[in-house]
Amino acid sequence: MRFTFVASETTVAQQARRKLIDRYGDVPAMQADVVVALGGDGFMLRTLHLHRALDVPVYGMKLGRVGFLMNKHRLDELPGRIERAHTATLFPLDMRVTDGEGTEHTALAFNEVSLLRQSNQAAHLEVQLNGIVKLSNLVCDGILVSTPAGSTAYNLSAHGPILPLDANVLALTPISPFRPRRWRGAILPHRTEVVLRVLDPGKRPVSATADFHEVRDVRLVAIRQAGGQGVRLLFDPEHNLEQRILDEQFAAE
C-alpha cells in the first residue's frame, strides 16, 4: 500500500508527517493508493479540494483543534487501519457567482456555500428553487446551503438541521433572519438548484463563500450538487462518519 502524507503547517503535524514517512515511506500523490492528511477539519477540506481529481481515498488523522472529519492520530498499524476503514463518499456543492462587474466565478464546497452581509445593513435576498421564487425578500444576515457532511459545522451553529449522510438532501438555513420572522429554513432534495439574488446590492453588499473560497460584492449565486465529483473519505470503524452525524443529534453540549 503506497501512501502520500500531507500535513498542515503546525509543528505537531509536520513532526507526525516525518515519523509516518520514516515508518511507511512516501510517494507522489499521483502514485499513491491513499492520501493521508494530518491536521484538522480545515486542512482536510483543503486536501479534498487539492486532490479531488486524483480519485484516491483520503484518510485523515486529527492533529488540529477540530477533527470531525478525522480519525485518531496513531503511528502504528496504519495499513491495517485503512484496510478495515469504512468509506464515506462526499459530494460537493457547485457554486456559480456573478459579481458586481459581471464577472462569473465558480467554486466547489464540501461543507457549505454561505452568503453574508458585508456591511452593517442587513442583506435582502430573493430565494429561488428550481426557477420558482419561494421568498421574494428575505431580510437576514445571510443564508447558507449545506451538505450532510457540513451540516454539523456552520449550519448547526446557525440552528440548521443535522442531516444523515445518506439522506440525499441539503439544508437551506438562514443566518439571523428578520423577515419573514417565522421562516427557519428548509430541507431540500439534493438535486435542487438554489438561486439567490441580491436585492439592493449597492446599499446592502453581500459576499459568497464556498468552503474557503470567497467572492465579494455578489449579485447572483446559483448552487447545486456537483454530481459525479464525489470524494472518498476513510474512517476507522469506531469513528464512522455516519454514526458521528447521528450522535451529534443527541449531544448534550
In a domain, 80, yes or no: yes
* H or E segment to which residue 217 belongs: none
The C-alpha cell at 208 is: 459568497
Exactly one of 26, 33, 41, 76 is catalytic; name it: 41
Whether residue 236 sits in one domain with residue 164: no
Q: What is the structure's pLDDT at 59?
A: 97
User: 65 lies in which domain range?
Assistant: 3-90+230-248
32 and 127 both lie in a single domain? no
16 and 53: one domain?
Answer: yes
* 33 half-sphere exposure, CB direction, 13 A CA radius: 8
With a cut of 50, which residues of the chain have pLDDT below it? none
In a shared domain, residues 130 and 171: yes
For residue 163 the three cell numbers come to: 442531516
Does one domain contain both 124 and 241?
no
pLDDT, position 26:
97
**Active-site residue 217, yes or no?**
no
Cell readout for 189 is 432534495
Residue in 40, 22, 31 with CA at minimum distance from that of residue 3:
31
For residue 253, tell me if it sits in a domain: no
**So what's the pLDDT on residue 229?**
79
pLDDT value of residue 63: 93
pLDDT (0 to 100) of residue 173: 98
- Whether residue 235 sits in one domain with residue 210: no
Q: What is the pLDDT of residues 73-114, one digit of tens each?
A: 999 999 999 999 999 999 999 999 999 999 999 999 999 999
Whether the CB-CB separation of 179 and 143 falls below 8 Å is answered with no
| Number of neighbours of residue 105 by Cβ within 10 angstroms | 16
C-beta separation of 38 from 16 below 8 A: yes
- For residue 42, what is the domain's CATH number? 3.40.50.10330
Q: What are the Cα distances from residue 211, in Å, to 78, 109, 215?
A: 29, 5, 11
Do 132 and 203 share a domain, yes or no?
yes
121 shares a domain with 26 = no
Integer angstrom CA distances of residue 42 from 15, 39, 69, 90, 150: 19, 8, 9, 15, 12
Residues 18 and 118 in one domain: no
Looking at the structure of the chain, the number of domains it has is 2
Cα(50)–Cα(32) distance, integer angstroms: 14
pTM over 0.85: yes
User: What CA–CA distances, in Å, run from 61 to 9, 233, 236?
Assistant: 14, 11, 10
Given this model, what pLDDT does residue 40 score?
A: 93
Residue 252 has what pLDDT?
Answer: 59
How deeply is 96 buried, as exposed, middle or buried, from its count of CB atoms within 10 A (0-12, 13-18, 19+)?
middle
Distance CA 249, CA 13 (A): 30
